[in-house]
Structure 1
Amino acid sequence: MQIIQCKVEKIEALTDTIKRIILIPDTPFNFIAGHYLQIVMGDGDKRPFSIANAPREDGSIELHIGTEPGNQYSGQVIEKMLKDKLVNVEGGLGQAFLSQTDAQDIILLAGGTGFSYALSILQQLLSKPLEAQVHLYWGTRTISDMYAFDELITLTQQHPLFTFIPVIEIPETDWAGRTGWVHQAVLDDMPDLAAYQVYVAGRFEMAKVVRDDFTKQGLPITSLFGDAYAYI
């Protein structure tokens, strides 16, 4: 597996608790939309993060990393990047990459910063005219956590076959959209999932519920993709 040194080009805030990191590899870094990488912190210490972009001509890599207070796992990675300005990464990794071989409706299901995984796949899908429906369901605790809301609304206007369904767990009083659990919004909208591909990223607990409930609603297990399923 390739281990490549990257320059830390940019670290900026997406929200109070999420950072966007732009890495510039010293040599070409090969990956497929939906892959993840590991930040090499030291011997035996490699920390996985979804790649938040489809492959780009300039070779840059984008990460969206949660930095909630007390989250040393991610916090130490950000500290290392700020201090060293360089980082070694290993990838691309994972089996939940985009594997569309023909025109088939797709559901991208993301909880929280799992959106970075969905964004990579979405960018790849929208890089050419869509031939089937693509539905992105993104669930966050509050609307302020949904840092790409405006960008995604714009994409729905540019791509008629793309639908964005935001789902808020703790809505403000003026929120008129969907509320509750993001996976339940899919179940409510899609009574028969037999014809879909589903790509999911979020907490392991969510991924397990998605597998259990979506297969009961007709989704073939071979049409469900998520790196969590290698562990649960």
Structure 2
Amino acid sequence: MAELGRLLKESWSLVDEQQDRMAAYFYARLFTLDPKLRDLFPVEMDVQRSRLLGAIVTAVQTLEDPERFADYLSGLGRDHRKFSVQPEHYETVGRSLIDALRTYGADQWTLEFDQAWRDAYDVIARTMITAATAEHGPAYWYAQVLSHERRGLDTAVFTCRPLEPLPYRAGQYVSVECGYRPRAWRAYSMANAPREDQTMEFHVKAPGAGWVSGALVRRLRPGDMLRLAAPMGSMVLDRGSQRDIVCVGGGTGLAPLKAIIDDLAATNRTRWVHLFFGARTRDDLYDLAALTELAQAHPWLTVIPAVSEDPGYAGETGLVSEVLDRYGPWNDHDFYVSGSPAMVAATRRTLTRLQVPSTRVRHDVFGHDY
């Protein structure tokens, strides 16, 4: 397995800087081999283009951790049922992937690299197909929007209720499709633990022209219907641990951390929780009032907001990973980290330098369109 991982990483380095062009080639090849597959994708492919390749690369990166590898791919297989993906489609995707890698690896691509990717993709496809076949629940759930609140120009908090029960765990996420952007699915975390009334809260940020996020922030209204895919993600509470907890969130990455705190609120009596909430400016601390109320209601919770680009701010300033570094010590804590890929990477570097074991750090990195 270690040798396979080495070959995959080495070969990926040959194409890493050409991802956009390779993704365009991949989809062109995919739709040439099977034109009917085009109907499974949104009309606008600019955002979609890197997503399927990104999921495959993420799977490859988890290869050396068998449990994480299996969990990620099983969730991905169940999630892809929303596209009406059939087992035979995986073969076409595999052929297109190898063709794209071979083309952009050019003269440096070897038969050894080719075989390594064939072996890896075979495991990926079989794991996803097995999970999808074994799943007996719906491919997606319809949910009605109950409330929608704008928090500034580019952020919204909304609640919805699935028409049928949708089981999930605090900290997980689902793919969401709305009628304003048909066939375009984006992943968002629930901001609450499961409730008896089945309601689910989502936090969405859409700076610029975020395609689905823009629709959810600017166009969504109470009464609208959404489709929600199967829950995914492994950033859930470790109930076997008695260690205190540190949550580190950037922007709307706050959502799953708030769900975990909501989950703890029902049972926690002994674990102290520190929540670091980072944003660019004080106006971007969109949920601070609700977090303050949570901290007042639960003495075990401490909230530390921080801003990185607001010189007049009276509280903590700097990147949230830098603010985390000023506190501590963190020798015996569990960490939950959520935000942009850059924010998660910076926080992980800080925790590595502080010698926090990686087994105590949980995070999910998945694609948004903001």
TM-score, normalised by the number of residues in structure 1: 0.89
Structure 1 match to 2:347: 210
Number of aligned residue pairs: give it.
Answer: 227
Structure 1 match to 2:152: 15
Deviations 1:75-96 (A, max 9, x none): 1445774498111101211111
Unaligned runs of 5+ in 1: none
Q: Bigger shift: 62-71 or 149-158?
A: 149-158
CA contact (8 A) 2:142 2:162 kept: yes
The structure richer in strand per residue is 1
SS for the counterpart of 2:337 is strand
Structure 1 match to 2:363: 226
Structure 2 match to 1:138: 277
* Mapped pair 1:185 → 2:185: no
CA contact (8 A) 1:50 1:63 kept: yes
CA contact (8 A) 1:31 1:55 kept: yes
CA contact (8 A) 2:144 2:223 kept: no
Deviations 1:164-216 (A, max 9, x none): 1111112353x32110011111112124x331111111110111122222022
CA contact (8 A) 2:161 2:200 kept: yes
Structure 2 match to 1:121: 260
Unaligned runs of 5+ in 2: 1-77, 79-137
Indicate which of 161, 166, 171 corresponds to 1:34: 171
Code of the residue aligned with 2:323 in structure 1: it is A
Deviation at 1:154, TM superposition (A): 2.7
Structure 1 consecutive aligned stretches of length 4 or more whose deviation exceeds 3 Å: 40-43, 76-84
Q: 1:189 to 1:83 in 2, by over 3 A?
A: closer
Deviations 1:99-152 (A, max 9, x none): 232321101100011111211111111223431110000001111211222222
Indicate which of 133, 136, 152 corresponds to 2:291: 152
Query: Percent identical across equivalent pairs?
Result: 27
Aligned mates of 1:52, 1:171 — CA distance in 2 = 26
Code of the residue aligned with 2:333 in structure 1: it is Y
TM-score, normalised by the number of residues in structure 2: 0.57
SS for the counterpart of 2:230 is strand
Q: 1:79 to 1:91 in 2, by over 3 A?
A: farther
The structure richer in helix per residue is 2
Relative contact order, CA 8 A, sep 6+: which one is greater?
1
Aligned mates of 1:145, 1:227 — CA distance in 2 = 22
* Structure possessing the higher radius of gyration over alpha carbons: 2
Aligned mates of 2:292, 2:148 — CA distance in 1 = 25
Aligned mates of 2:207, 2:142 — CA distance in 1 = 26
CA contact (8 A) 1:194 1:220 kept: no
* Mapped pair 1:201 → 2:338: yes
Cα RMSD (Å) of the superposition?
2.2
* Mapped pair 1:166 → 2:281: no
